[in-house]
Amino acid sequence: MSDDKALSCKECGKEFSFTAGEQRFYAEKGFENEPGRCPQCRLAKKRRGGKKELHTTVCAACNVETQVPFEPKEGRPVYCRECYKDRVKNAS
């Protein structure tokens, strides 16, 4: 961990430096993942209050349009709030 690492920001795509000092700090805190956002995008996210962008999709169970706080992936089912609650309740 003596060298800086060049990482790519998942928000803006720009390259940023993950310094040796930051790497030591992450290791001391037990963080397992490297930062995914550059300092500017981290600050912007903090200013937004960490609110997630909502993505519109169709529920895999009832075919109702719904919004979810993550980007749906092809081939993976996404459920509306009610169908998700039913699935969790029935799984236990």
Give residue-wise pLDDT tens across range 35-85.
Answer: 999 999 999 888 877 667 899 999 999 999 999 988 899 999 999 999 999
Structure tokens at 87: 């699935």
Distance separating alpha carbons of residues 44 and 27, to the nearest angstrom: 25
pLDDT at 53: 82
Give the CA-trace dihedral at 68, 76, 37, 16, to 10 degrees: -150
Give residue-wise pLDDT tens across range 57-70.
Answer: 999 999 999 999 88
pLDDT at 2: 67
Give residue-wise pLDDT tens across range 4-19.
Answer: 999 999 999 999 999 9
Structure tokens at 83: 């169908």
What average pLDDT does the structure give for the chain? 91
